[in-house]
C-alpha cells in the first residue's frame, strides 16, 4: 500500500504541475507577426489572445511577450477524461463541464468518445478587450455621457446611419440628463455602467466599488426601466480580482481594442485614422459622448468612421452582440447562486478531488495485482 500511496502522491504533484505549466505558455512576438498569425499557429482565436493579454490595440511590437491561451477545441484521444483535460489546459473541471453541456451524467474517471470535439474554456476570466472575431463586426462605444451637447448629435448621426452603439454612462451625468439617457435607450442602443463619477477603480476597496457600481446601475434602471450588466472601468484600469468580483455580480467588464483618444482634442482625421488602424473583426472602438471643454471632434469624425468601415465590409453591432458568441463558447460567466469559486480555494480543492477520483481506477487495479 505504501507504493500505492507514493504513486498517488507523485501523480497528484505531477498533475498539479501540468496544470501550472498549462497556464504559463508564452510567446515572443517576431517581426511580421500579427494576432491572426499567432492565433492560427496555436489553433486558438484572436479574441482569446487579445483578452488574455489585455491588449488595448490589435497592433503588436517585436519582442512583446504574449501568454498563449488554450486552443478553442480539443479532439478527444484514447484515455482522455474531463479531469485530465482540465489539468492539461489549466481550468477547473466544473468550468470544463459547463463548456461542454453535451456530455451528460458525467462521473469522475469517465472516458470520453475518441474523436469527439470538446470546447476548451479560457484559463482565466478577464475583461473583454475584443469580441467574436469570426464575423466582420465592430462595436462603437461612447463613454462619459450623457450630456445635452454632444450626445444628442451623436445619436442623430447613429440614427441617420442606422447604427446601434453602446454608451457607458457616468451615474451623475445620467442623473443630470435623464431625458438624453431615455433617448439612448428608446432608440435601441445599449447602456453600460461607467461608475458614478469616473472613479479610479483599482484604488477603491471592494465595498466602495460595489456601492459605486450599484448606485450607477440603480440610476440607469430608474431612468430607463432597464438593468445593465455591462461595466467599463474609467481609463480601462481594473485589477483581476475586481473583474472576478463584478463577474460574480453578473457584470461583464468591457475594455476596448481601438482607442481614438478623442478626449485629447485630436482633429477628426486622426480619430478616423485611429479606428481604421486597429479595425479588425471583433474590435471594440472607444470614443466619448461628453467633453467638458476645448476642442472635441468626435461628432465630425463619426460619419467618416461609419462610412469607411462599411465600405470595407464591416457591420456595426452592440457590445453584447459582439461578445455573446464568446460567452456561449466559453461558459465563463458566473451564475449567481451556483456556489462555485473558479479562482479561489474551492476550485483548488475541487481540482485535487477530481485528480484523486481520476486515479482511483488505476489504484484499484494495482491493489488487485498485489
Residue with cell 472516458: 111
143 is catalytic: yes
Cβ-contact 44, 35 below 8 angstroms: no
Collapsing DSSP states into helix, strand and coil, what is residue 97?
helix
Q: At what angle do helices 345-369 and 82-89 cross, to 10 degrees?
A: 130
**CB atoms near residue 368 (< 10 Å):** 7
Cβ-contact 160, 185 below 8 angstroms: no
Phi, psi for residue 165 in degrees, rounded to 5: -130, 180
**CB atoms near residue 119 (< 10 Å):** 18
**CA quadruple 119, 123, 126, 128: dihedral, nearest 10:** -30
Nearest to 92 by CA among 337, 328, 345: 345
Separation CA 355–CA 191 (nearest Å): 43
Q: Which of 74, 177, 189, 288 is catalytic?
A: 288
Collapsing DSSP states into helix, strand and coil, what is residue 355?
helix
**CA quadruple 285, 291, 295, 297: dihedral, nearest 10:** 40
Separation CA 53–CA 64 (nearest Å): 11
Cell, residue 128: 473583454
291 is catalytic: no
Separation CA 329–CA 51 (nearest Å): 14
Nearest to 166 by CA among 250, 255, 272, 51: 255
Q: What is the CA radius of gyration of the chain?
A: 23
Q: Which of 47, 74, 80, 143 is catalytic?
A: 143
Separation CA 279–CA 16 (nearest Å): 40
Residues identified as active-site: 143, 288
Amino acid at each position: 500500500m505504501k507504493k500505492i500511496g507514493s504513486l498517488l502522491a507523485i501523480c497528484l504533484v505531477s498533475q498539479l504541475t501540468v496544470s501550472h505549466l498549462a497556464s504559463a505558455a508564452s510567446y515572443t512576438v517576431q517581426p511580421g507577426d500579427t494576432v491572426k498569425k499567432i492565433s492560427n499557429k496555436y489553433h486558438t482565436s484572436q479574441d482569446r489572445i487579445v483578452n488574455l493579454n489585455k491588449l488595448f490595440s490589435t497592433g503588436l511590437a517585436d519582442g512583446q511577450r504574449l501568454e498563449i491561451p488554450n486552443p478553442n477545441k480539443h479532439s478527444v484521444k484514447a484515455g482522455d477524461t474531463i479531469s485530465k483535460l482540465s489539468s492539461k489546459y489549466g481550468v477547473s473541471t466544473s468550468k470544463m463541464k459547463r463548456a461542454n453541456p453535451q456530455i451528460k451524467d458525467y462521473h469522475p474517471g469517465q472516458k470520453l468518445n475518441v474523436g469527439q470535439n470538446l470546447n476548451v474554456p479560457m484559463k482565466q476570466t478577464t475583461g473583454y478587450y475584443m469580441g467574436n472575431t469570426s464575423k466582420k463586426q465592430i462595436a462603437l462605444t461612447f463613454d462619459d455621457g450623457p450630456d445635452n451637447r454632444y450626445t444628442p448629435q451623436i445619436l442623430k448621426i447613429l440614427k441617420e446611419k442606422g447604427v446601434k452603439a453602446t454608451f457607458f454612462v457616468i451615474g451623475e451625468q445620467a442623473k443630470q440628463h435623464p431625458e438624453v439617457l431615455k433617448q439612448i435607450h428608446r432608440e435601441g442602443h445599449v447602456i453600460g455602467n461607467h461608475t458614478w463619477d469616473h472613479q479610479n477603480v483599482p484604488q477603491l476597496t471592494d465595498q466602495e466599488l460595489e456601492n459605486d457600481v450599484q448606485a450607477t446601475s440603480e440610476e440607469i434602471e430608474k431612468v430607463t426601466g432597464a438593468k445593465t450588466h455591462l461595466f467599463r472601468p474609467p481609463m480601462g484600469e481594473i485589477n483581476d480580482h475586481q473583474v472576478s468580483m463584478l463577474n460574480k455580480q453578473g457584470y461583464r467588464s468591457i475594455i476596448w481594442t481601438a482607442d481614438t483618444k478623442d478626449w485629447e482634442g485630436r482633429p477628426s482625421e486622426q480619430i478616423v485614422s485611429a479606428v481604421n488602424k486597429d479595425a479588425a473583426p471583433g474590435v471594440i472602438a472607444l470614443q466619448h459622448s461628453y467633453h467638458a471643454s476645448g476642442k472635441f471632434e468626435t461628432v465630425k469624425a463619426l460619419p467618416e468612421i461609419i462610412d469607411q468601415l462599411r465600405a470595407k465590409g464591416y457591420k456595426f453591432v452592440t457590445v453584447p452582440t459582439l461578445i455573446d458568441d464568446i460567452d456561449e463558447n466559453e461558459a465563463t460567466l458566473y451564475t449567481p447562486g451556483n456556489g462555485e469559486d473558479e479562482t479561489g480555494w474551492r476550485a483548488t480543492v475541487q481540482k485535487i478531488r477530481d485528480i484523486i477520483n481520476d486515479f482511483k481506477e488505476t489504484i484499484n487495479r494495482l491493489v488487485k495485482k498485489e
